[in-house]
């Protein structure tokens, strides 16, 4: 697998720092002469930050400092680096100790993301800055394309802006379930607005689960808050259940017509409109099903 990683980062398979970049500390604990990748990860993190900053600076010439900083944080984070590393075969090339291997540590987001950053450092040290810059462009390029198409990679921010613009206050998130072994945990999070739980999402981390829940609610916001709601800027995804291969769905149930549709334009306060139909999430019905409020306190 090391040859695949070498080709991916455009450095020779026998490059001086490549083997070290793929060596987890657990391997070093068992094979003392093998240096681990932690120092390289430290360097690679800075190189990735520099190259990503330059790419954003050049791609968005009218964006201010705050916007560029926010975009960089959306692109350069553990979850996205780990996702990329798995998709490109980096995870399979990591050298792990026997104990770490048997416990499934290869699936850890931190382990894979550290290896990706260490490989960036190897590309920088063994191939120079142009090689490292090209590697970083391949990593963040698809995310930048997604930004161009959707305007965001952060559905939580979109949902917050949407709610505040309509006087609904800040969205509330709460973990409602979790499970899986230590190396492959999953979390289920529900999101609420205006005192009502409205959607749920699942992911390999709390952060990803919150994003999935926010995406689901954004997809349904016209049904919930009226036709004046603009089309969601959140990227459409089919992997809200990232760990199980399923996507959470939202089912709206109201007597008579079987749908929940609140036209916020006809009411002075959108939260009153939502409360009028008494929407609240009922976890006993399924992952993201809505039922009428039965008088019990179910809000966030």
Active site positions, annotated: 45, 117
The single-letter DSSP state of residue 279 is E
Placement of tokens 């990329």 in the chain: 84
Q: Which of 260, 256, 257 is nearest to 288 (CA)?
A: 260
Q: Which of 183, 53, 46, 200 is nearest to 112 (CA)?
A: 183
Residues shown for the chain: 300
Please tell me the distance from the alpha carbon of residue 244 to that of residue 266, in angstroms, as a whole number: 41
Q: Which of 117, 132, 115 is nearest to 43 (CA)?
A: 117
Give, in order, the Cα–Cα distances in Å from 175 to each of 22, 172, 192, 210, 285: 34, 10, 12, 9, 17
Q: Which of 139, 126, 132 is nearest to 13 (CA)?
A: 126
Through-space distance between the first and last CA atoms of the chain, rounded to whole angstroms: 47
List Cβ neighbours of 19 (8 Å cut-off, separation of 6 or more): 2, 34, 95
Q: What are 131's two structure tokens?
A: 């090689």
Q: What are 152's two structure tokens?
A: 């965001």
Q: What are 201's two structure tokens?
A: 């999402």
CB atoms within 10 A of CB 246: 13
Q: What are 114's two structure tokens?
A: 């550290």
Alpha helical stretches, state H, 198-269: 206-219, 221-225
């Amino acid at each position: 697998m090391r040859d695949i990683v070498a080709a991916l980062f455009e450095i020779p398979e026998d490059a001086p720092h490549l083997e070290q970049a793929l060596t987890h500390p657990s391997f070093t604990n068992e094979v003392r002469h093998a240096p681990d990748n932690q120092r390289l990860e430290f360097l690679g993190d800075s190189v990735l930050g520099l190259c990503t900053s330059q790419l954003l600076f050049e791609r968005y010439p009218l964006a201010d400092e705050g916007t560029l900083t926010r975009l960089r944080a959306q692109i350069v984070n553990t979850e996205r680096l780990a996702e990329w590393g798995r998709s490109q075969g980096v995870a399979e090339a990591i050298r792990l100790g026997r104990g770490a291997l048997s416990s499934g540590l290869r699936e850890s987001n931190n382990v894979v993301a550290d290896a990706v950053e260490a490989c960036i450092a190897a590309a920088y040290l063994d191939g120079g800055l142009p090689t490292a810059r090209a590697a970083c462009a391949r990593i963040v390029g698809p995310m930048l394309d997604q930004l161009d198409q959707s305007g965001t990679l952060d559905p939580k921010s979109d949902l917050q802006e949407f709610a505040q613009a309509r006087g609904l206050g800040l969205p509330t998130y709460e973990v409602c379930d979790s499970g899986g072994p230590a190396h492959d945990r999953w979390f289920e999070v529900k999101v609420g607005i205006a005192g009502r739980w409205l959607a749920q999402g699942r992911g390999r981390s709390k952060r990803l689960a919150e994003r999935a829940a926010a995406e689901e609610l954004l997809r349904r916001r016209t049904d919930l808050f009226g036709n004046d709601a603009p089309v969601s800027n959140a990227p459409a995804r089919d992997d809200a259940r990232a760990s199980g291969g399923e996507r959470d769905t939202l089912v709206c149930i109201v007597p008579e017509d079987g749908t929940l549709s609140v036209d916020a334009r006809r009411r002075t306060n959108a939260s009153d409109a939502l409360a009028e139909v008494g929407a609240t999430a009922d976890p006993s019905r399924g992952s993201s099903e809505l039922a009428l409020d039965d008088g019990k306190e179910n809000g966030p």
